Amino acid sequence: MPERTFTGWDLGGAHLKVAQMDRSGRLTAAIQVPCTLWRGLEHLAAALAELGPRLAPSRHHGVTMTGELVDLFADRSEGVRQLIGAMVGYYAEADLHFYAGEAGFLSALEARDRTHDVASANWHATARFVAERCGSGLLIDVGSTTSDVVPFIAGRVKAAGYTDADRLVAEELVYTGATRTPVMALAETVPFAGERQRLVAEHFATMADVHRLTGELPDDADQHATADGRGRSATDSARRLARMLGRDLASAGMADWRRLARHLAERQRGLIRDAVDRVASRGLIGDGDPLIGAGIGRFLLPDLAARLGRPYRDFADLVTGEPASREWAARAAPAAALAGLVARI
């Protein structure tokens, strides 16, 4: 296999992300496809098969994951081991390097014995890649389901937590994302028609609907089925959002549904802002250090950086390559980071 191409993988529970770089660090590919892993490992196999023809031959692969969290597996250790087995089975002839945070890269055999280090380490790979290029600052990666808030100082990751549980406590992991988060997770009540109304506790609409109505969501960002399995027009999104109030679309005008969407989007920004304030209060990063934005939902972040009085840098500006590849690398930042890191092994 060619030595000149390095491949990074992020095995998520809802998406499979991959990026490739040459030895100079130039992106040659960055792709994300939906992968409903919770339905079975065959869905990962299908996603890998779909991506295969779109990738250059590559010997060196770096792998990280969050897919071990899906309820297909009894626990995270089982999930890590099964995902390792799936990658080894599919890329039997390649050199696979599994990312384990501060422990660096592990072989498949080592990774099976250190599942605690390998589980959900994708955020650390992104933060390490960013820290080496930006020195000090704050990484915020707003994905489809979660957001990471990670400080880095003098080229080193300075997170307070490592496991998902510890990161949730430290508010370095916030379970809110740009597309898959149910609207009911953002608020119990909302202002509407001059009243304050409680939302229904049903999966009728997601934040993809909200951000479609605000006009911020890129057209190709929402890769999964909608909550009702119907379309992705503004009208479809407003109809789903209306159900969150126990109403029908025709009960109000589009201006009213867009106003509600802007309110919910601001509530989401508030969740992320609260986490940033908590992390910044540790006093590790300077007031002038930049905010680095990554993820499918990073459209939320330039405004947040401005409110915080911090300069904003986009992950896409930290890599080289064609504009489309840089955009998808920013959306799939852990995979792009792994491609860059594994090139140095």
pLDDT digits (tens, 9 = 90+) for 251-282: 999 999 999 999 999 999 999 999 999 999 99
Q: Tens of pLDDT along 171-210?
A: 999 999 999 999 999 999 999 999 999 999 999 999 999 9
* Strand pairing report for 147-153 and 173-174: antiparallel
Residue closest to 316 by CA, chosen among 292, 297, 338: 292
Domain count, the chain: 2
pLDDT of residue 2: 54
Residue type, 323: P
Model confidence at 3: pLDDT above 70: no
Taking only the tens place, the pLDDT of each residue in 318-344 is: 999 999 999 999 999 999 999 999 998
**266 and 320 within one domain:** no
287 in a domain, yes or no? no
Contact in structure between 51 and 18 (CB atoms under 8 Å):
yes
Tokens of 111: 């990774």
CATH code: domain of residue 217:
3.30.420.190
Question: Quick one: 107 and 188 in the same domain?
Answer: no
Query: How far is residue 50 from each of residues 9, 56, 284, measured CA to CA in Å?
Result: 14, 13, 43
Assigned domain for 211 exists: yes
Element spanning 6, H or E: strand 5-11
Is 169 contained in some domain? no
pLDDT of residue 306: 97
For residue 30, what pLDDT is reported? 98
One domain for residues 35 and 130: yes
The Cα–Cα gap between 313 and 140 comes to 11
Average pLDDT over residues 215-223: 95
Looking at the domain assignment, is residue 145 inside a domain?
A: no
Is there a contact between 316 and 329 (Cβ–Cβ < 8 Å)? Answer: yes
Average pLDDT, the chain: 97
Domain span at residue 230 reads: 183-270
Looking at 67-157, list the stretches that DSSP marks H as alpha helix, in order from N- to C-terminal side: 76-90, 108-113, 115-118, 122-134
* CA 17 to chain CA centroid, nearest Å: 10
pLDDT band, very low/low/confident/very high, at 345 (cuts 50, 70, 90): confident
Question: Domain for residue 178, yes or no?
Answer: no
Same domain, 16 and 105: yes
Each residue's pLDDT tens digit, 71-119: 999 999 999 999 999 999 999 999 999 999 999 999 999 999 999 999 9
- Which amino acid makes up residue 64? T
For residue 26, give the DSSP letter.
Answer: B
Helix (H, G, I), strand (E, B) or coil at 192: strand
Statement: residue 303 has pLDDT above 60: yes
